[in-house]
Amino acid sequence: MIIVMRRGAPDAAVQQVVERLEAAGYGAHVSRGVETTIIGAIGAKDEDKPVLAQQLETLPHVDRVVPILRPYKLVSREANPEPPPIALGPEAAVGGTKLAVIAGPCAVETREQVLEAARAVKAAGACALRGGVVKPRTSPYEFTGLGHEGLAYLEEARAETGLPICSEVMNIGQIEWLAERLDVLQIGARNMTNFDLLREVGRVGKPVLLKRGFASTIEEWLKAAEYVATGGNLRIILCERGIRTFETALRNTLDVGAVFVAKRETHLPVIVDPSHASGHAAAVPPLALAGVAAGADGLLVEVHPHPGEARCDGPQSLTPEGFRDLMARVRAVAEAVGRTA
Ligand code: PEP
Ligand code: MN
């Protein structure tokens, strides 16, 4: 980090910063310019830096403290410039030239519903099946998922179609029974800042699909990924699912730029969820195509065999036909940006 002093800071103030740095185990390199003096802090442990930076900012005549390294290390692009794709199953991976499309209902509702959805998304070219068995609902009176029964249906769908299965984990207590049987653990937008949960899923040897919180900056999202990574698990898939802005026409605002930024900053694959970003089935295809055009490594799309009967997120769910049509258009855009689907 670099400590920038205010204009005209007296030598004693510079000396005080140097002494604070030395006391904390850093070396200090003082550079006196015509207008201002800057002090480079050299060495010491990364984890101490943020708090020391804050403390230094309180010293007299210190203007600001500028960090040099990013606040996320393990997931940063420098840490791994050419990461291999993340395997979801024997034939599915996220992060290569081939786009990964994970599709299925918002929630697992019945055995028939999930089997029908699985067959349809497989036939249309999805590489993995999604479906919530524990659902974070805004209202306590809404359907909160089938739990263990739903997981058994997902497993049956995997056995029949060969599609790996992805589902949300809402709390630490659920990790044990879900992690063992799922192929991908989803952390929902509402749990992106549940740091205990992030650490715990980082200790599980399964890919983690980490949604961006709808009120979180990209940097906060990447720090959340760093939490998962500190548990030893670097198989993290970032998912941009729309953020809350002043605009209310759609359910959320898809931050297409976040795909570019997250891919520039990290070595993690980034996928886009046009379903939760839009809230309307008709808006799903344009947002999905925009995500692919912007460089996303894949999509997460809600598909329901009968959206009109869905217990959760029906208005944004594509029908099997709608999903098949979308996949045809995704292939065209993928090809235009040098990828396959
Ligand atoms: C979901 O994928 O069904 C879901 C609840 O998404 P989010 O956490 O992005 O709202
Ligand atoms: Mn949903």
Q: What is the mean pLDDT of residues 66-93?
A: 92
> Structure tokens of 116?
């029908």
Whether 49 and 126 map to the same domain: the answer is no
Mutation to probe ligand 1, out of 106, 211, 303 (largest number of atoms < 8 A from CB): 211
Q: What is the CATH number of the domain that holds 148?
A: 3.20.20.70
- Domain contains 153: yes
Whether 24 and 156 map to the same domain: the answer is no
Q: What is the mean pLDDT of residues 131-151?
A: 97
Query: pTM of the predicted model, to two decimals?
Result: 0.93
- Give phi and psi for 291, each to the nearest 5: -65, -45
Q: What is the mean pLDDT of residues 117-140?
A: 97
Calculate how far, in angstroms, residue 34's C-alpha sits from the geometric centre of ligand 2.
Answer: 58
DSSP classification of residue 286? H
Looking only at the bridges linking them, the beta strands covering 100-104 and 128-130 are: parallel
What integer pLDDT is reported at residue 68 of this predicted model?
84
Whether 265 and 183 map to the same domain: the answer is yes
Pair 90, 128: CB distance under 8 Å? no
Pair 206, 184: CB distance under 8 Å? yes
pLDDT exceeds 90 at position 219: yes
Q: What is the CATH number of the domain that holds 40?
A: 3.30.70.1140
pLDDT exceeds 80 at position 46: no
Q: Which atom of ligand 1 is least distant from the CA of 212? A: 9
pLDDT in tens, 283-325: 999 999 999 999 999 999 999 999 999 999 999 999 999 999 9
- Answer whether 132 contacts ligand 1 (Cβ < 6 A): yes
What integer pLDDT is reported at residue 44 of this predicted model?
67
b/e map 157-176, b = 16+ CB within 10 Å: bbeebebbbbbbbbeeebbe
Whether 109 and 18 map to the same domain: the answer is no
Whether 37 and 131 map to the same domain: the answer is no
Calculate how far, in angstroms, residue 20's C-alpha sits from the geometric centre of ligand 2.
Answer: 51
Whether 51 and 111 map to the same domain: the answer is no
pLDDT in tens, 173-185: 999 999 999 999 9
Structural domain range at position 107: 86-336
pLDDT exceeds 90 at position 172: yes
What is the chain's percent helix, strand, coil content, to nearest 5?
Answer: 40, 20, 40
- Domain contains 81: no
Calculate how far, in angstroms, residue 105's C-alpha sits from the geometric centre of ligand 2.
Answer: 7
Q: Which atom of ligand 1 is least distant from the CA of 136? A: 5
Reported as a pLDDT band with limits 50, 70 and 90, residue 89 is: very high
Q: Structural domain tally of the chain?
A: 2
- Answer whether 131 contacts ligand 1 (Cβ < 6 A): no
Place of tokens 């998922």: 145
H helices of the chain, in order, are 11-23, 49-57, 111-124, 148-161, 172-179, 195-201, 218-230, 256-265, 274-278, 284-293, 320-336
